[in-house]
Structure 1
Amino acid sequence: MNRRELLKAALAMPLLTGGMAGNVVSALAGSGAKLAGGVRTRVRPGDPGWPSPAQWDGLKVAVGGRLLKLESPFADRSSAAYAEAMKHLQNPFFIGDQPALTQTSGWAKAWTSRPSAYAVAAESAADVAAAVAFARQHHLRLVVKGGGHSYQGTSDAPDSLLVWTRHMNRVTLHDAFVAQGGAGIQAPQPAVSLQSGAMWIDAYDAVTTHGGRYVQGGGCATVGVAGLIQSGGFGSFSKNFGTASAALLEAEVVTADGVVRIANAYTHADLFWGLKGGGGGSLGVVTRITLRTRELPTFFGAVFGEIKASSDQAYRALIAKAIDFYQRALCNPHWGEQMKFRPDNGLQLSMVFQGLTQEQASAVWAPFLDWVRARQEYTFSRPVQILALPAQHFWDADFFRQHMPSAIVEDDRPNAPRKHMLWAGDHDQVAWFIHAFQSAWLPASLLQPQRQAELTEAIFASSRHHSMEFHFNKGLAGAPAEAIAAARDTAMNPQVLDAFALVIIADAGAPAFPGMSAPDMVQARSNAEHVGAAMDTLLQLAPGAGAYVSESDYFQRDWQAAFWGANYPRLAAVKRKYDPDGLFFVRHGVGSEAWSEDGFTRLA
């Protein structure tokens, strides 16, 4: 057992055995007396402690009238709201503008998207602080939603009070930012401040399209900025620029006591560290983040195509060649995104690059493509295209409307902002109903020549059960030393530092919000079995692999170790300091062991 696995085992023993609840509750509460004095049960509508109409009116006054009583637009099929929601069901910008909806409609045998009882449509940190204070005073279940992209359903909960930050979306560029308390210590640097309701398309439009610089954010343009930072955060070019959370310079956050705090390297440094990958919604409500910006490369580009093998034997050889090619030519800061291995013996290429011209990128791929073309057992079911464009236009909606309209999906509502676009490849996730979703970081040691045959066979065997995606940009093996060092100073599972890829195996069905047609649970069960078998087969090579908290299994076993590894005890200490009574609850979030699955009952 190597040092990492020994450390992980030592961490897992007290947390993940039959005595897990008692051990972790004690660690989080600090003492049994503290637990005994804390809130044991949160209230629901109809309970004796539920706030009276007059008390809700008081909160409404405190937040400038921005208290909403929520109802799903799918609750009444005869309503205009239902018709409007069905019309825009595939528009993620519309869904994000509905406080009663989430970008994922549910997960088989796990959760369904149901609205909170009330929502504070916050427009300032003061609004957020008022909502937090109200929830604490009345023992309410509190939920936070910005972008609303949570696959695990952490951005909604029935019978709760929602802090909805969608309208807090201001973006401010800085030429010379210095964090609070850092004057004379920290050199001024270019940065961008984003309120927590902003989406990444807001950030890219301001920073890159109009500002000519780069900020490390998420790949999907409609993801919320604050949630991504708190989960760790990967974008297409993370293999060069590192994780999004590692670029965080400062955060404004409302803690459980209702205080608006500034967290950075100089003030509340422990909370600052916890916000960098410790998971959204567990330590406080982030209302603003400030991220460093970088010099923009001259070109961004992409490689798309599909190759089909005529036999299983030929497919094994194709997998082996692709893995060897990746290790030799692509495991470096220039390359990111995906190769997809499929049960039909197909290899789908969806790669991106930065800092190379189209000619240079073509030269990199020439040996691999020449090898494929020289063999009769392979065909190109989709011709390989290698394209480059000026990096400043990579998130420029007008540029894509003119030159490559099929690559994007636009906000189809009248008078929608022209910047509103998302990649067509992300469109199938809009309102989807997840059947199964699993992820795992694969260590770079699997790319060593002496282990590539094992990896090839594992990929082939796994692909007999289900397709799998290798997200190379979501592992930092091959990244610059600076990016790895910065990510090491975050709360993420340290396995990400030495992973060459995050493998994702998932399946989903059509949107299925409550009130719509019911999901096909027979198909969901079958898909989940195939996903599980595929991942189990692959993980025989990496049995201790961790998972990415935002893209992981709802039913993840040993989730503390999987999501955070050796960093979990330190995160638990931050939780104990800033939220000793557990006001902020996210299932499988830091400190959630102390509560029931729905977050309403404290475990003893």
Structure 2
Amino acid sequence: MVQTFPQVLLWLVGLALTQEVHTVKASSCKVLPEDEEWPTPAEWEQFNVTVGGRLLGPVIPLSAPCHDNPSGLGSYDADECSKITASWHSTELHIHHPTSILYPLFSNNSCLHSTDRFSPCTRGYYPIYVVNISTPDQISATVSFAKAKNVRLNIKNTGHDFLGRSTGRGSLSIWTTHLKSIELIDSYAGETEYTGHAVKFGAGVSVLDLLEATDKADKMILGGAQRSVGVGGGFLAAGGHSPLSSRFGLAVDSVLEFDIVLANGSFVTATQKSYPDIFWAVRGGGGSTFGVVTSWTLRTFDTMPTTTIRMKFNASNEENYWKAVSTFLEITPNMGDQGVYSFVVLRNQVMHITALYGPNLTVAELDQLLNPFLERLHSDAIKYTKKSLHVTSFFPAFYETNAVTKAGWDAAMASRLIPRDVVENNLDSLVSELKKLSTFANGEPRVIYLMSFNPICTVEPNLCDNSVNPVWRKSVTHVVANLPQSRNMTMSDIKRRARLHVLDDFQPMRDLTPGSGAYMNEASDFEPDFQEAFYGVNYGRLYEIKQKYDPTGVFYATQAVGSENWTESDGVLCSNDGVEVKVD
């Protein structure tokens, strides 16, 4: 349930009566509800008028109905709790709640659904107030209010985020998920050389919806590998790899223009000629950093016949299992060169090729590319299941092959982009490191994801000058290693395990790939030297642009450009010249 303004004053009184240990902050820290500087109920109400009644809050955490709690966050409701519990792993449940996110670890696991109605439920790192955005003017007003009142600002689109960028303790959230417009453009006429078919869409449009809309015009776009991801959120801003990346590059290579609200509240259209520095920076420099994008315009591509293959096997012999993994990796550069994209999951000596996409390839042609791998399985007598599909356009191939994302789980994630040179010339070492990563220190299995592609920008050379880390163009595989985390663990134990996983166990993978990096959308908030890993040689220029347009850090996000100017401790955000002291 979302509270409305008659409840605000009552909530604030309850908050004052239930404060525990808190942080005393210098003026350079963002204010929290327990601070004297926090906006009054009257100020929040006036702000609500300014944004046309679109303010929600104080927002109650999604799972509050599963708890009896004296903090004023809600009361136990058995029926509502049952619905939440039954749908906890549904992405739609979290996407359509104002503050919930798909991975609750980043809210400090503060209010999880529970069978124990007396278990704690606090707001944790969830935002307090949310503006349900419908117009750019509302974003401008929200930015102005947050600056004037020194309130932390954050942006949530769909909540697909592995760095916790769409949540923040004591924050005012800009919620863009309801910006759902889609406009098909027969002949684009903008400030670029491209004049063909395009599509303009709101920031909240999902991969599935945009692919379906463009398919009706016999077109397609580069969307993410998961159907519920918001195309116009962090996906595009970080580059965006796609099942079509081996044919057409990264998703951001197709951006023709975008509309954005900047830190000074101005609403502008960025193109190669208008705000060219912002146009460059946002296309690869990460979300929640330079402003709030309200809509994007992408060039589209003619749809094409597509073949997909799904395979799975369980190898009882460990040596044969890793030989099969090695053979598959060995053929991925050639498959990428032929336009193929693959998504593979490794766990407990099970190899699951969840999707092998062959745009403009027949079943026979894709089988031929896969043949060395199939021969390896046959030679080692490994039994497998294999399902092929060939359709006349890309969208049904994506729809039938792509699984629905599972939400409501937590894992420590570590990742690395693997250069072609390593796969072609040092494959044994790569497979050896993957084998070591397959289990944790206590024998607990990790889950390893291998996404293979050839994301060269060649389709629109004039759009290739963007801020994507250049190591992408040399990479043929993206390795992600996940260590599952239990909700029954303490947060200190969760963080300890994450540090061990990311900083210690995954370091040999970094050592194997010097000068490479990681994809910020699928990485860890413990990633060392994030400036080099996420942004590479572009970081210096990105930082300069950040300081030009947002010198006071209105837009802050974990490991975003300029985030080193801030320190976050227990969710309290302070600029680096601030002082914070823990007191009772």
Superposition TM-score tier, normalisation by shorter sequence:
0.7 to 0.9
> Counterpart of 1:507?
483
Distance 2:195 2:324 in 1: 49
Distance 1:486 1:151 in 2: 31
**Residues 589 and 367 of structure 1: is their aligned pair in 2 closer, same or farther, counting only changes over 3 Å?**
closer
- Spell out the pairing of 1:364-443 with structure 2 (5 A cutoff): 364-373=369-378, 375=379, 377-380=380-383, 382-394=384-396, 423-424=402-403, 426-428=404-406, 430-434=407-411, 436-443=412-419
Give me the identity figure in percent: 25
> Counterpart of 2:5?
none
Cα distance, 1:142 vs structure 2: 0.4
TM-score under structure 1 normalisation?
A: 0.80
**Residues 368 and 42 of structure 1: is their aligned pair in 2 closer, same or farther, counting only changes over 3 Å?**
closer
Q: Which moved more, 1:520-529 or 1:63-72?
A: 520-529
> Counterpart of 1:16?
none
Q: 1:44 aligns with which of 24, 32, 36?
A: 32
Cα distance, 1:238 vs structure 2: 0.9
**Residues 231 and 81 of structure 1: is their aligned pair in 2 closer, same or farther, counting only changes over 3 Å?**
farther
Contact 2:239-2:250 within 8 A present in 1 as well: yes
* 2:557 paired with 1:586: yes
**Residues 487 and 457 of structure 1: is their aligned pair in 2 closer, same or farther, counting only changes over 3 Å?**
farther
Contact 1:101-1:114 within 8 A present in 2 as well: no
* 2:357 paired with 1:355: no
Cα distance, 1:115 vs structure 2: 2.6
Contact 2:146-2:152 within 8 A present in 1 as well: yes
Instruction: Give a deviation string over 1:329-373, Cα, whole Å, max 9, x none.
Output: 4131421122344453x4332322111112222233234313422
* 2:148 paired with 1:144: no
Supply the AA of the counterpart residue of 1:99: P
Contact 1:242-1:487 within 8 A present in 2 as well: no
Q: Which has the higher contact order (CA 8 A, sep 6+)?
A: 1
**Residues 343 and 523 of structure 1: is their aligned pair in 2 closer, same or farther, counting only changes over 3 Å?**
farther
- Spell out the pairing of 1:448-467 with structure 2 (5 A cutoff): 448=424, 450-463=425-438, 465=440, 466-467=446-447
Secondary structure at the aligned position of 2:259 is classed as: strand
Contact 1:125-1:287 within 8 A present in 2 as well: yes
Distance 2:427 2:478 in 1: 17
Report the aligned-residue RMSD.
2.8
**Residues 285 and 524 of structure 1: is their aligned pair in 2 closer, same or farther, counting only changes over 3 Å?**
closer
Secondary structure at the aligned position of 1:489 is classed as: coil
Supply the AA of the counterpart residue of 1:218: G
Cα distance, 1:439 vs structure 2: 0.7
Q: 1:286 aligns with which of 293, 309, 312?
A: 293
Secondary structure at the aligned position of 2:64 is classed as: coil
Q: 1:203 aligns with which of 207, 210, 214?
A: 210
Cα distance, 1:461 vs structure 2: 4.0
Supply the AA of the counterpart residue of 2:550: D
Cα distance, 1:157 vs structure 2: 1.2
Cα distance, 1:520 vs structure 2: 9.4
Secondary structure at the aligned position of 1:550 is classed as: helix
> Counterpart of 1:269?
276
> Counterpart of 1:191?
198
**Residues 119 and 455 of structure 1: is their aligned pair in 2 closer, same or farther, counting only changes over 3 Å?**
closer
Runs of 5+ unmatched residues, structure 1: 1-37, 401-406, 408-422
Supply the AA of the counterpart residue of 2:382: T
Distance 1:108 1:319 in 2: 36
**Residues 268 and 99 of structure 1: is their aligned pair in 2 closer, same or farther, counting only changes over 3 Å?**
same
Distance 1:59 1:148 in 2: 25
- Spell out the pairing of 1:43-82 with structure 2 (5 A cutoff): 43-69=31-57, 70-77=59-66, 78-79=76-77, 81-82=80-81
Runs of 5+ unmatched residues, structure 2: 1-25, 67-75, 112-123, 441-445, 578-584
Cα distance, 1:153 vs structure 2: 1.2
Distance 1:588 1:573 in 2: 16
Distance 1:187 1:304 in 2: 36
Supply the AA of the counterpart residue of 2:83: E
* 2:177 paired with 1:175: no
Distance 1:603 1:553 in 2: 22
Distance 1:110 1:88 in 2: 17
Contact 1:92-1:222 within 8 A present in 2 as well: yes
* 2:296 paired with 1:296: no
- Spell out the pairing of 1:469-480 with structure 2 (5 A cutoff): 469-473=449-453, 476=455, 479=456
* 2:556 paired with 1:557: no
Cα distance, 1:99 vs structure 2: 0.3
Secondary structure at the aligned position of 1:547 is classed as: coil
* 2:307 paired with 1:331: no
Instruction: Give a deviation string over 1:487-525, Cα, whole Å, max 9, x none.
Output: 752212111110111111113357x5xxxx777986886
Instruction: Give a deviation string over 1:251-303, Cα, whole Å, max 9, x none.
Output: 11111111111111110010011110111101101111111111111x22222
**Residues 458 and 90 of structure 1: is their aligned pair in 2 closer, same or farther, counting only changes over 3 Å?**
closer
**Residues 302 and 136 of structure 1: is their aligned pair in 2 closer, same or farther, counting only changes over 3 Å?**
same
Cα distance, 1:453 vs structure 2: 3.6
**Residues 82 and 326 of structure 1: is their aligned pair in 2 closer, same or farther, counting only changes over 3 Å?**
same
Cα distance, 1:553 vs structure 2: 1.1
Contact 1:68-1:120 within 8 A present in 2 as well: yes
Secondary structure at the aligned position of 2:506 is classed as: helix
Cα distance, 1:55 vs structure 2: 1.5
> Counterpart of 1:103?
102
Contact 1:191-1:290 within 8 A present in 2 as well: yes
Instruction: Give a deviation string over 1:460-492, Cα, whole Å, max 9, x none.
Output: 44445544222113x52xx46447x57752212
Distance 2:432 2:188 in 1: 50
Supply the AA of the counterpart residue of 2:242: G
Q: Which moved more, 1:72-81 or 1:387-396?
A: 387-396
> Counterpart of 1:240?
247
Q: 1:215 aligns with which of 213, 221, 226?
A: 221
Contact 1:487-1:497 within 8 A present in 2 as well: no
